[in-house]
Amino acid sequence: MALVSAKEMLEKARAGKYAVGQFNINNLEWTKSILQTAQELQAPVILGVSEGAGKYMCGFKTVTNMVKAMIEELNITVPVALHLDHGSYEGCYKCIEAGFSSIMFDGSHFPIEENVAKTTELVNVCREKGLSLEAEVGSIGGEEDGVVGAGECADPEECKKIADLGVDMLAAGIGNIHGKYPANWKGLSFETLAAVNEKVGEMPLVLHGGTGIPTDMIKKAISLGVAKINVNTECQLAFAEATRKYVEEGKDLQGKGFDPRKLLAPGAAAIKATVKEKMEIFGCIGKA
Ligand code: 13P
C-alpha cells in the first residue's frame, strides 16, 4: 500500500474512541520492527521522523525511499503515514518535496500571529498535495541541555484559532513532556484537555511525550479527544536495554555473535514488544 495521509485514520480513531500510535524511527531496524508489528496486529500506524533523525538517516529523501521500499518488500497492507515530527517551517517544505504524507509544523515558539500566518500557508499547500498537517499550541516540555522543562498548558482559545485554520490534527500542551517524566511530575492536565476538546469540536488531538504516561491517564486522554499518541523514548530505552543485556552476557563474543544481524536482533525484538504493548493500550489493534 502507498503512504497515506494521517487524516482519515485519525478521524476514524477519534470517532471510534481509540488512538493511533506515532512511533519515531531512527534507522532501518526501527522502521522494519514498527511496520512488521503494525502489519501483524492489523493496526494503522504513523512513522514519526524528527529533523535530527532525518539528518541522521541521510536526509528525508533517503527516509521516504526506504519506507516506501520496505512497505512494498514486506507486503505491508495496513495504512502507513510518514510524518515529520516537530517540523520547522523550512523542514516542512523539505519533507513535502521528499514525499512525506504528513507533516507537523511546530510553530508553538512563534508569537500566535506568526504561528497563524505560517500554519495557514501550510494548510493550503498540504490540502493541494493531499498531505495531513499537525499544528502545535502550548509547547511540550522536555529535556534540553540537561534541564527538564515543565510542560506548558495550551490556551484553549488559541487552540480554537489554530484548529479553525483547517489543520487535520492538533497537539495541545497539557503538562506532557518528551522523554522520561521526572519523579515530581504533576500528571496530565485533564482540565486543559477537556477545555481544548470542547473548543475544537471533532478535531483529532495529539498527545506528545507518550513515554511513561500511566495507562489510566492514556485512556482518559483518549476519552477526551486524543486520537494520536507519540512514542519515541520508550522504544529507545527498550532497544538499549536489550542490546546491553546481549553484550553484558558476552553473546557478541560467542561464534558470530558480532554480526550486526545478530547483535541488533534483541533490540529489534524489544522495539516490537514495546510497540505491541502501546498499541494494546491505545486500542488500535485490528483497526486497519
Ligand atoms: P517521548 O520520547 O517522550 O515518547 O515523546 C515522543 C514525542 O512526543 C515525539 O514527538
| CB of 79 closer than 6 angstroms to any ligand 1 atom | no
Q: Which residues are catalytic?
A: 85
Q: Which of 144-153, 174-183, 271-280 has the highest mean pLDDT?
A: 271-280
b/e burial code for range 28-45 (CB count within 10 A of at least 16 → b): ebbbbbbbbbbbebebbb
pLDDT in tens, 225-277: 999 999 999 999 999 999 999 999 999 999 999 999 999 999 999 999 999 99
Which atom from ligand 1 is nearest to the alpha carbon of 179?
3
Query: Best substitution site from 23, 86, 106, 178 to test ligand 1's pocket, by max atoms within 8 Å of Cβ?
Result: 178
Helix, coil or strand: residue 93: helix
Query: Best substitution site from 20, 206, 230 to test ligand 1's pocket, by max atoms within 8 Å of Cβ?
Result: 230
Average pLDDT, the chain: 94
pTM score, whole prediction? 0.96
Given a contact cutoff of 8 angstroms between Cβ atoms, the answer to whether 263 and 55 are in contact is no
pLDDT at 146: 52
| CB of 14 closer than 6 angstroms to any ligand 1 atom | no
pLDDT over 50 at 145, yes or no: no
Share of the chain above pLDDT 70, in %: 97
pLDDT over 70 at 168, yes or no: yes
* 212 CA distance to ligand 1 middle (Å): 10
Helix, coil or strand: residue 129: helix
Given a contact cutoff of 8 angstroms between Cβ atoms, the answer to whether 162 and 111 are in contact is no
Query: Is residue 130 exposed (0-12), middle (13-18) or buried (19+ Cβ within 10 Å)?
Result: exposed
Segment 209-222 mean pLDDT: 97
Higher pLDDT, 138 or 213: 213
Q: Which residue has the cell 519515531?
A: 24
Distances in whole angstroms, Cα of residue 265 to Cα of each of 19, 242, 251, 252: 28, 9, 12, 12
pLDDT in tens, 44-73: 999 999 999 999 999 999 999 999 999 999
pLDDT over 80 at 144, yes or no: no
Given a contact cutoff of 8 angstroms between Cβ atoms, the answer to whether 102 and 96 are in contact is no
β-bridge partners, 83 = 48, 102
